[in-house]
Structure 1
Amino acid sequence: MAETSSDAFLNGEGIPVDLHNIETELLRLWGPSADRAGGPDLESPHVTRVVLANLVVEGREANAPGLKQVLDEVTSQYPCRTIVLRRTEGTDRTITAEVSALCYIPAPGLPQVCSERIVLHGGPQATNLLPGAVRPLLEADLPFILWWTDDPRLDEPLFRNLADECSRLILDLPDPGADLAAIRLGLDPKINAYSRDAVWFGLTRWRELVAQFFDLSCHHESLKRIDSLRIEALAPTHEVPPRLAVWLAAWLAGQLGWKPLGNPTHSPGHLRAQFQGPAGEIAVEILTEVDSTAPRAQLLATTLTTQGPDGPESFRLERPSPQSAEVHIKIHSSAYCNLPRIVRSPEIEPARRVAAALQASRSDPTFDHARPHFFWLMEQR
């Protein structure tokens, strides 16, 4: 029976355990599992348990299948002790637990890398028991990262309790589709100064491409002459602008010291705003194309214009189709080479965004500078 349980544990199957004996059961399961997988044969390498952090994940039972797929990929890139808070519709004031291992072989001949997953099931009546159940399970001297995947207002006391204690918070809500009030609560620096929107990490490659237009010191003056920014995005709906596009505009505003003017105007599929820049007003426009089959928002194009010494200049990034991994770079300026270029820059998938958030520096002044501009742009007055 012990061997059967250990095999199931190592294969990622949840093993029910008593809430108060989780650590004891993990020790019992890890031993036979390592023996079972051990040996000199390269087809069954030794098991190496790796824990880089404590990752506490909030998710509802209804979202479990999709969340598990993303979680498996995240923990294969960033092994950690994962504690999943699975919210059920049960009426009992009890918490049940199960444990499993997630294992993978990084390369032939290397040890099998494994991390453990603890799932705590509890209904609405057991919500206030969850923080007390989580704390004894946190590995000492390792970061405590909270990955919140639902509207934090639905379990606000639980959210505030855990967010106040964690060393880093990742808010992972649909884009578009999340209520702005939920995002405000989830990213409130007074609750946790190191909170981040997972969508922010989907911008990394696009931000790099924009920055490369002005990398050389001889082009730094062009940044001060920007007079318009146009962002084109794709999303399953257009009631609100995609956060991915708004974060890109907010990033530029925060980095370049733009000051908001008046109030943004919103209409379906269209956001307009004005900023004050070093050389005058800057018109910002976000256009959203609707594709109801799109799983999430993505960027299609970004165009910056400036008033150069020899006349208007434009700098454009464009993805030729939503499915393409390529981005076309087009520049019209007497100070640049105007030959078009193509770079490979695929969209960053949700699992890679969360993995990037886990590996990023806890302190991110760039995000902090962008945050107030993001909320100013998103607010519909």
Structure 2
Amino acid sequence: MSEAISDAFLEGQGIPVPLAQIDASLEKLWGPAAERVGGPELENPTVTRVVLANLVVERLTPDAGALRPVVETVVGQFPCRAIVIRLSEEPGRKVSAEVSAVCTLPEPGSPQVCSERIVLKAGRDALDLLPGAIRPLLEAELPMVLWWTTDPTEHEELFRDLADESSRIMLDLPDPGASAAALRLGLDPDLGSCSRDAVWYGLIHWRELVAQLFDCPIHRQSLGRIDAVRIDALSSDPSTPPRLALWLAAWLAAQLGWTPEGTPEVAPDGDGSTFRATFNAPAGPLFLEVHTGPLTADLTPTPRLLGVALSARGESGPESFRLERTSPGSPDVRIHVDAPGYCRIPNIVHADALDPAHRVAAALELSRFDPPFEKATPFLLWLLEHAEAAAR
């Protein structure tokens, strides 16, 4: 390989290579500056190749290029061999390939850390060839993680084939836009793999803040007296609640032992909508409302939570617990509690929203075992299915 091609490879430019010669081509492209595990010891390596897992990324859509910066951010945090599968317009039964490096800025005095990105492209008539093309590329004795970004029901055979090989499945489906059927297939426990929804990890800060409201043992009794919950969110499609808000409602229902009742509904509300559902809670009927408004032009297109309010029937009168952003784009959340025995002074904490790349990174880095997620999943599917039906 020429020095110019090797430099282009390290800069992240895709280098076309024959499918059968991917590994051999990578050996040459890394060059003498790369240090491989088990390879020759270099006194002063300028590039260190790090691989913690095999990450298979599905992006069978025309906008595959839009995922590139997200992949680079994820791989920068979680070094791995990334194998990206894309849909091409090439006719016939053929899989083409290109390779590139994904490198992060080094710490002063340290070598640059890089990983590999292999892009496999196949036309619609060749999608069934992709699993066979991927298997020889997997690094031995490392787990395979499947990162799926489109509706798995559209390519169910391919999804199931790759899921069977995976130790973890991470769904990164549009929000809004992903159907309950897509989530039901992707999170099917019969797949035998650990399946997660990346949107769930957007609740990390909100779950912590809600739980901290009731950390003190004398305040936990309020949890059993909750009779209403209101969640405020913004979405690119305000006609229906975003999955992010429904995951928060599902988590609360699962953790606090609520039982779904009746049929939820969605009604227009100004330039947005209100989703209403009823549960049977320890204190009696519990009413959930999710108010969704439109995202403004200055915010990213990812749905955003603005606040959550819980009210309870206290022994000495009504109790309220509110978390709300100081403004739609602010990373700060105001905490306000109006209940006997609580400090009434409002508090503000920093709780920035996780962008899609950092949600995926969190999904890869956190434990495979997540009982709150598993308990909340049936509630999420129930809410999502009724939200879809009500919006039709």
TM-score, scaled to structure 2: 0.92
**Equivalent in 318, 324, 337 of residue 324 of structure 2:** 318
Partner residue of 1:123? 123
Does structure 1 residue 273 correspond to structure 2 residue 272? no
Report the CA distance between 1:61 and its aligned residue.
5.3
Report the CA distance between 1:292 and its aligned residue.
6.2
Q: Aligned with 2:83: secondary structure?
A: strand
Q: Aligned with 1:20: secondary structure?
A: helix
Report the CA distance between 1:179 and its aligned residue.
2.4
Deviations 1:162-188 (A, max 9, x none): 112211111111111222222222222
Amino-acid identity (%): 56
Aligned 8 A contact 1:3 1:32 in 2: no
The count of residues paired between Structure 1 and Structure 2 equals 375
Does structure 1 residue 309 correspond to structure 2 residue 321? no
Q: Aligned with 2:237: secondary structure?
A: coil
Does structure 1 residue 337 correspond to structure 2 residue 334? no
* AA in 1 matched with 2:275: L
Gapped regions of structure 2 (runs ≥ 5): 36-41
- Equivalent-residue separation in structure 2 for 1:193 and 1:263 (angstroms): 32
Q: Note closer, same or farther for the CA distance 1:213–1:240 as it changes in structure 2 (3 Å cut).
A: same
- Equivalent-residue separation in structure 2 for 1:46 and 1:146 (angstroms): 31
Partner residue of 1:67? 67
Deviations 1:230-279 (A, max 9, x none): 10101111232100000000001111111111221223411111111222
Aligned 8 A contact 2:164 2:193 in 1: no
Partner residue of 1:289? 293
Report the CA distance between 1:46 and its aligned residue.
2.0
Partner residue of 1:133? 133
**Equivalent in 302, 306, 324 of residue 300 of structure 1:** 306
TM-score, scaled to structure 1: 0.94
Report the CA distance between 1:75 and its aligned residue.
0.6
Partner residue of 1:194? 194
Deviations 1:4-35 (A, max 9, x none): 22111111111111111111111122234539
- For residues 32-181 of structure 1, the aligned pairs below 5 Å read 32-34=32-34, 46-60=46-60, 62-181=62-181
Q: Note closer, same or farther for the CA distance 1:352–1:203 as it changes in structure 2 (3 Å cut).
A: same
Aligned 8 A contact 1:168 1:192 in 2: no
Deviates more, 1:352-361 or 1:63-72: 63-72
Q: Aligned with 2:89: secondary structure?
A: coil
Q: Aligned with 1:62: secondary structure?
A: coil
- Equivalent-residue separation in structure 1 for 2:293 and 2:192 (angstroms): 34
Partner residue of 2:38? none
Deviates more, 1:237-246 or 1:173-182: 173-182
Partner residue of 2:363? 357
- Equivalent-residue separation in structure 2 for 1:104 and 1:292 (angstroms): 32
- Equivalent-residue separation in structure 2 for 1:157 and 1:342 (angstroms): 49
- Equivalent-residue separation in structure 2 for 1:120 and 1:379 (angstroms): 34
Report the CA distance between 1:88 and its aligned residue.
1.4
Q: Aligned with 2:62: secondary structure?
A: helix
Deviations 1:120-163 (A, max 9, x none): 01110110000001111111221111001111122111011111
Partner residue of 2:219? 219
Q: Aligned with 1:343: secondary structure?
A: strand
- Equivalent-residue separation in structure 2 for 1:214 and 1:259 (angstroms): 21
Q: Aligned with 2:12: secondary structure?
A: coil
- Equivalent-residue separation in structure 1 for 2:373 and 2:226 (angstroms): 21
Aligned 8 A contact 1:53 1:144 in 2: yes
Aligned alpha-carbon RMSD (Å): 1.6
Partner residue of 1:348? 354
Partner residue of 1:258? 258
* AA in 2 matched with 1:195: S
Q: Note closer, same or farther for the CA distance 1:307–1:61 as it changes in structure 2 (3 Å cut).
A: closer
